[in-house]
A and B are shown apart, each in its own frame.
Chain A
Amino acid sequence: MQFIHSAGLDDFYRLRQAPTGHRPGEGIAADPSAFADPAVAAQYLERDAAGVAHGSLALDGVGCAACAWVLEHGLVDMPGLRQVDVDLASGRLSASWEASDDVEAARGLTRLLSRINALGFDAVPAQPAHELALHAQQRRRSLTAIGIAGIGAMQVMMLAIADYAGLFSGMALDHRALLIWAQMVLTGVVVAFGARTFFRTAWQTLRAGRMGIDVPVSLAIGLGWGVSALVVLSGGISRGEHVYFDSVAMFTFFLLLGRHLEQSVRHRFARADAELDALLPAAVTRLDSDGGRQSVLPAQLRAGDRIEVPPGGIVAADGRVLEGLGEIDRAALTGESTPLPVAPGSEVPAGSRNGAARLRLEVLRPAANSALAAIPQLLARARARRPRSVHLADRVAGVIVIAVLLIAAVTALAWWFIDPARVLPVTLATLMVTCPCAFALATPVTLTAATLRLRRLGILLVDPTALERAQTLVAACFDKTGTLTEPGNLRCEAVVAGTEAECVNMAVALQQDVPHPLAAAFRRLPVSDRCELEHHRVAAGAGVEAFVNGQRWRLGRPDWAAGGGATSTHSDQPAVCEDGIWLTEAGVLRARFRFDALAGAGAPHGEGLRPGARETINRLKARGLDTAIISGDSSDRVRAVAEQLGITRWWAGVDPASKYRLLQETREQGGALYVGDGLNDAPALGGAGVAVAMASACDFTRSAADVIVLDDRLEAVVDLLEGADRTRRIIRQNLLWAISYNLLAMPLAVTGMIAPWAAALGMSASSLLVLGNAARLLRRDHRPHGAIAKARAWT
């Protein structure tokens, strides 16, 4: 491999000095000069105080590790460039360069774009609309390829079967020639249009001096068609020699199908920016100093502006409460469902949802600098730094390709001296026998089968390479809220007067239409009858009240519900306290509601262990993994959960950036699995060895994950690891078989002892064996599950 590497470096210098491959007009890449206007460029860039501009670009035509390598090394000497990282999974390039002002930043961006074009790739500054258009175009391209390969392969197969039937029942030579010529033309179409993507990637890989699985794939397809065409053109049909057009067409079709599946899952979860923008309100009410109100875009807010957030509204920018007593819900940010009480002076983060009160805030920093806006940037950088995982097949590919070509050359040379008349048939047979078809199929087909199998278990594999990374994992870390725990169930206890059903009915009626997570917990209670209420009103930070037949009913904090007086002014009083939530009629206690809390000291309110959490942790421990909790929550709550689950290592009060760092540190030992669901988990997912998101996570967080658990079943994590073990085992078996078959058959072919029909049979059998072995992953287990329908709905 050493000489490939050195050849690669030479290639790289050649590449850098004489950029080729620019295909103007192809693709939808924008003209770099369109971004020369500082105002336009500024929309896509962020410039920090140190005079460094950061930009993120969506890439097209980057399909392998080698392309990423070419890009990074082709750009590295751009003047002023600080750093460039290519993230293959999302097709993104992130770069930073020195720029003291917007004009310079824009100039850097145009320079970057023209360089990328010169290297033969298309790029646009990442913005949702552009990126989606790029994805749609990629999807159309891959669909066209699949359609051509599929229709073509079916037709070729039909002709081939007629040909095989003729071998047994006899067929006129000219009829056979007709069938084979037809196959040749149709397979030619499949190869030229369907397999183009393999050739293109292989060429880019080779030009970078690297090897990838696409090189043997292209070699197999090219050789299969080329050798068969040579047989036809040299009059091999009349000598009864064999052709391989059917294998080539089917092979191309299978590979394209696998790639398309992988690509469509990836695209589905790559709409990160668009989704994050949707977390913020489209317009905000700004209060002007003269008392006027104005509706503005969140982006127009400046530090010091005063804004008003209506009940149930989303906070658009980090701010400090000026007026209003209420609660905010940070569920979208942290997965934490218990609301946080706020009062004048409290800080509220952008993206949190206001409770029932009307809040007036002073904006602390512009929306673009909020903690919320920092998360995607943090994630983008985390992902770009992630070490590229290289398939085992990619590493062996180079040796195989060189071996095949070398052996063919030596064979041809040897036969030139032995018997010049047999040079062509023997060399062709050798090429066919050593053709790495089975080898090229081994990994992708197995990964496709594994993806389908896991999907049946309710696990969506966004990045199949995660299965290979799973091998080295040393630890499994969990977010607490929403991952190990779920919102607890309310229980009605201590009914002082009346029946339980009456009290529940009343409580649910009181909480109807109240925009508060606690109210949502009440609405999950079973109702037997509807209650008619009058003067329904929400008392911020205290509870809800209404009148029934002239009697005042209250549901909320005990002191407020029991006392007849006005709304309490205690701002630090939590919404749910130790005494539970009281339901009172005219100040008299009727019933108490309480969450099914965790047993043990410091039990969190309104939070229960997710079913299967304990079993999952035990099974992970049995696999020899360290388990840990990394949570943004307070330490006594985290400790309570950790003690319940027997987890000895936990971190509490960790911010997103530190979560990322903690996971990054485990990387040298082999990486950690991370399971999370909050927006604040996104960077941590980017830093994890294998990143798992729960389906309940927001789209943005899911976009950061390698794996998504569709039905929020925590045991899926163990299923994933077990599936990964099996997949790796099968990949290894397949590669071993493919290589040993080629090694065994090779001496026979080289010595001219193998008959053409035997070579064809051997090659097909070898490929089929690989397919069949991979299909073992699809065998149905007896597992009662509703995940199948759900999984279908997702893809």
Chain B
Amino acid sequence: MDVIWLLIPLSMVLVLLALRAFVWAVRTRQFDDLDREAARILFEDPKREARPEDMRSGEQRHD
């Protein structure tokens, strides 16, 4: 059971890293607007016209 001397400190380091990542995500406004980001994929990129080959590949995937 001596391995817990390694594993518990290791788990704590991981938790602290996870917390650090979470705080980073909040600070960089990743959680500010959850509704809009979820819907973003549904909107076309306004700068690029839909090309015929894109549409064809989309259809193929549906089949």
Contacts and interface: CB of A to CB of B under 8 A. Distances in A.
Interface of A: 136, 139-140, 143-144, 147-148, 151-152, 155, 159, 172, 175, 178-179, 182, 185-186, 189
A140 B19 contact: no
A369 B4 CA distance: 72
A152 B4 contact: no
A181 B1 CA distance: 17
Contacts of B16: 189
B5 A143 contact: no
B4 A189 contact: no
A498 to B, nearest CB: 46
Contact of B22 (A147, A155, A172): A147
A152 B26 contact: no
Contacts of A179: 8
Contacts, number: 46
Contact of A189 (B8, B19, B22, B31): B19
B4 A140 contact: no
Given A140-B32, A143-B26, A151 B18 contact: yes
Interface in B7-59: 8-9, 11-12, 15-16, 18-19, 22-23, 26-27, 29, 31-32
Contact of B12 (A139, A143, A186): A186
B5 A178 contact: yes
A714 B40 CA distance: 37
A151 B11 CA distance: 12
Counting contact residues on chain B (CB < 8 A from A), the size range is: 10 to 19
Contacts of A186: 12, 15
Given A151-B15, A155-B12, 18 more contacts: A136-B32, A139-B32, A140-B27, A143-B26, A143-B31, A144-B22, A144-B26, A147-B19, A147-B22, A147-B26, A151-B19, A151-B22, A155-B15, A159-B8, A172-B1, A175-B1, A178-B8, A186-B15
A656 B26 CA distance: 42
15 contacts: A136-B29, A140-B27, A140-B29, A143-B26, A143-B31, A144-B23, A144-B26, A147-B22, A148-B23, A152-B15, A155-B11, A159-B8, A175-B1, A179-B8, A182-B12
Main secondary structure of the interface of B (DSSP, over half): helix
Nearest to B23: A144
B39 to A, nearest CB: 13
A189 B23 CA distance: 13
Contacts of B32: 136, 139-140
B19 A148 contact: yes
A746 B6 CA distance: 41
A50 B22 CA distance: 53
Contacts of A147: 19, 22-23, 26
A140 B26 contact: yes
A155 B15 CA distance: 8
A403 B23 CA distance: 38
B29 to A, nearest CB: 7
Contacts of B22: 144, 147-148, 151
A536 B27 CA distance: 57
B11 to A, nearest CB: 7
A148 B27 CA distance: 13
A182 B8 contact: yes
A185 B4 contact: no
